[in-house]
Amino acid sequence: MITVLAPGLLTTVQDLGRWGFQAFGMPVAGAMDVYSLMAGNAVVGNIPGAAGLEITLTGPELRFDSPGLACVAGGDLGPLLNGFPVSSWEGIRVSEGDVLSFRGAASGGARAWVCVGGGVDVPLVMGSRSTYLRGGLGGHEGRRLKRDDVLPCGNPDTLWPRGEGFCVPSSLRPQVTGEPQVRVIPGPQEDMFSPEGVDSFYNSGYSVGSESDRMGYRLEGPAVEHSNGADIISDAVAQGSIQVPGHGFPIVMLADRQTTGGYPKIATVINADLQLLSQMAPGDGLTFRRVQVSEAAEASRKMMEALRTIRSLAADYRSRPAKYRGRSRMSGNMRLCFGGDCYDVSWSAFDGQGDN
Amino acid sequence: MIVEFGDGIDTGINAMVRALAGRIEASRPSWLIETVPTYRSLAVYLDPWETCRDEAMAWIRSLCSSIETPRFAGEPAIEIPVCYGGGFGPDMERVSLHTGLPAAEIIRLHSSPVYHVFMLGFSPGFPYLGGMDQRLETPRLENPRTLIPAGSVGIAGKQTGVYPLQSPGGWNLIGRTPLKLFDPSRKNPFLVKAGMEIRFVPVSEDKYPVLPSSGEVPGR
């Protein structure tokens, strides 16, 4: 079990989404970056679709009520265990009563996912544990977490301690640097825009507007001109669809998007670059670059390949005899005080015995 | 992947969209996540783990060439009981003023036709209906309401529909149904699906509390 001591800005239970009901108008929801969620799940030994907590900008304060393995994946929001820094993308052993909190992002990064061995075990609603906020369903009581919520967790695999210290290689973590160039496939309604409109879409910088959330990001920048009105006969809206309503400012549709819409879509963000968007906060800048479907498919394939690699590295790590695992160590935190000056110190040492 | 069938709101085109969706869903190809039929196009979501996009596209193309407009399925229309006017339909007077029709005539015109469900979207279980009498056409409210109760029946321009969940919205509300178009706790959470036909049946206000709210419509 996990007890929420403080909820943070927006913390929700998410998995890979509630697929299969879009034909009935049911939004998919799910993690804004499924790659990070799946990677975090691999670190703690879960199946890829186990539910975790999606945290936004200002992280929550969570108390673990039983021992287990946890991993914070995604943007670096400065995770702390009992007040001392711990690494993201690493298997962290937590004991009963340990408190995970967040210092805040040091350098970019807007969202992270907390995965725990066994997964967050809220009830399945229509095949998923994802929270759909506007519909008030799924997740924990259909809403964002608040103080004193208690979240049940599933049973971790019995050899979970072997995952402690496994770290996702940095080459397999999403790289977010500076102002991202987000790759898009043109259309499906690029022909609803004037040549000048298309030109300003690809050759201008945009920034994420303040009215941006899990449903979509409203972009600020030069307006994109339509050639003949801004209405289409409503059709499907995908994750990454970029709608342009009559006012000309693009809206990128994301996890909690509605399934259909009546505004023309100038382009669609490729699957592999949705993770870039998930790390953007209001005020952050971006530009768009047009790519071929083949490049999008290749980027998607690479992303899936990276996940396979993480899973296989994690499995190897757990199957190695304990004494060969370099990160087997004893560690702790203490406060040293010398005549009124206090220092928080974390220490670690190889225990020489291995474990398990 | 989007397959477009034509440009217009038309039951024939819409039937082709659903026919293709049916053919694809029936074959359950390994790369398929789901299909989303809309007025005039079909969205097909492919599993990114599968790397056979070109084959999938070629297969769907071959299906398209053999799609025939299905014969009318002949399923009976779903009946949706509606309490018109009063507290359930606060905009009845507005619609009456705009259309110049008395409330009784509005109710008669709204509950006469059989409506075709072209697609679902906007929110879970929200049906886009075709077939409203054009004399009822009334523009959306200038100031949308912040909260509309679930089950509200409204008119917006040439369209009519039912709000499955409480939500904000700018439609003219003329009545309400106790039927839950969406209930995630039911075995089948959605009452209607694309391609079905529905009818609105006027019921008096005093019957509202005793009407069933479940999806188990009598005779279905």
pLDDT in tens, A125-177: 999 999 999 999 999 999 999 999 999 999 988 888 899 999 999 999 988 77
Angle made by CA atoms A47, A53, A59, in degrees to the nearest 5? 145
Rounded Cα gap, residues B129 and A84, in angstroms: 58
Chain A interface, mutation test: which of B41, B119, B126, B191, most A Cβ atoms within 10 Å?
B119
Q: Which residues of B touch A22 (CB under 8 A)?
A: 34, 36, 43, 45
- pLDDT value of position B54: 85
**Arch. (CATH architecture) of A181-297:** Beta Barrel (2.40)
Both tokens of residue B132? Answer: 């409203």
> Which residues are within 8 A (CB) of A225 and not within 5 positions of it... i.e. 6 or more apart?
A193, A194, A196, A197, A200, A248
Q: Where exactly are the structural domains of chain B?
A: 2-65, 78-210
What is the mean predicted confidence (pLDDT) over B66-88? 82
pLDDT at B218 over 50: no
Q: What is the pLDDT of residue A336?
A: 77
Convert A150-217 into a string of H (helix), E (strand) and C (coil): EECECCCCCCHHHHCCCECCHHHCCCCCCCCEEEEEECCCHHHECHHHHHHHHHCCEEECCCCCCCEE
Eight-class DSSP state of B174: E
Would you state the pLDDT for residue A328?
Answer: 45
Note whether B39 contacts A304, CB cutoff 8 Å.
no
pLDDT classification of B210: cutoffs 50, 70, 90: confident
* Residue B66, pLDDT score: 83
| pLDDT higher than threshold 50 for residue B69 | yes
pLDDT classification of B190: cutoffs 50, 70, 90: very high
Contact B48 A22 (CB under 8 A): no
* Contact at CB, B36 and A260, closer than 8 angstroms: yes
Does a cis peptide bond (omega within 30 degrees of 0) precede residue A250?
Answer: no
User: What is the distance in angstroms between the Cα of B19 and the nearest Cα belonging to chain A?
Assistant: 14
- Beta-carbon separation of B34 and A259 below 8 A: no
Question: How far from the centroid of its chain's Cα atoms is residue A216's Cα?
Answer: 15
Query: Between residues B52 and B98, which one has the greater pLDDT?
Result: B98
What is the structure's pLDDT at A356? 40
Position A347 scores a pLDDT of: 65
Q: What is the pLDDT of residue A22?
A: 96
Tokens of A206: 């945009």
pLDDT of B70 strictly over 80 = no
Question: C-alpha angle with apex A284: A279 to A290, nearest 5 degrees?
Answer: 80
pLDDT tens column, B17-39: 999 999 999 998 999 999 999 99
pLDDT at A331: 62
**Contact (CB<8Å) B38/A236:** yes
Q: What is the CA radius of gyration of chain B?
A: 19
pLDDT tens per residue across all 356 residues of chain A: 999 999 999 999 999 999 999 999 999 999 999 999 999 999 999 999 999 999 999 999 999 999 999 999 999 999 999 999 999 999 999 999 999 999 988 777 899 999 999 999 999 999 999 999 999 999 999 999 999 999 999 998 888 889 999 999 999 998 877 789 999 999 899 999 999 999 999 999 999 999 899 999 999 999 999 998 888 888 999 999 999 998 999 999 999 999 998 899 999 999 999 999 999 999 999 999 999 999 999 999 999 999 999 999 999 999 887 655 554 455 666 777 777 787 777 665 544 444 44
d(CA A33, CA A129): 16
Tell me the count of A-B CB pairs closer than 8 A: 97
A198 to A250, A286, A288, A289, B162: CA distances (angstroms): 11, 16, 11, 12, 37
Indicate whether B105 pLDDT > 70. Answer: yes
Residue A233 to residue B9, Cβ atoms within 8 A: yes
What pLDDT is attached to residue A325?
55
> Is pTM, for the whole model, over 0.80?
yes
Q: Would you call B129 an interface residue with chain A, using a CB distance cutoff of 8 Å? A: no
pLDDT score of A310: 97
Sequence-separated (6 or more) residues with CB below 8 Å from residue B217: B78, B79, B179, B191
Residue A73: the pLDDT is 97
Nearest to B38 among A126, A235, A271 (CB): A235
Tell me the CATH number of domain B2-65, given options 3.90.660.10, 3.30.420.40, 3.40.50.620, 3.30.1360.40.
3.30.1360.40
Q: Predicted ipTM?
A: 0.87
Q: Of the given ranges (A91-100, B194-203, B209-218), which has the lowest mean pLDDT? A: B209-218
Res A33: pLDDT: 96
Judged by a CB distance cut-off of 8 A, whether residue B193 touches chain A is: yes
Provide the CATH number for the domain formed by B78-210 in this structure.
Answer: 2.40.100.10
Q: Where are the domains of chain A?
A: 2-174, 181-297, 323-356
Neighboring chain A residues of B167 at a CB cutoff of 8 Å = 134
Q: What is the pLDDT of residue B8?
A: 82
Give pLDDT, residue B157: 87
Measure in Å the smallest separation between the Cα of B103 and chain A Cα atoms.
31
pLDDT in tens, B146-177: 889 999 999 988 889 999 988 888 899 999 99
Which residue type is seen at A169?
A: P
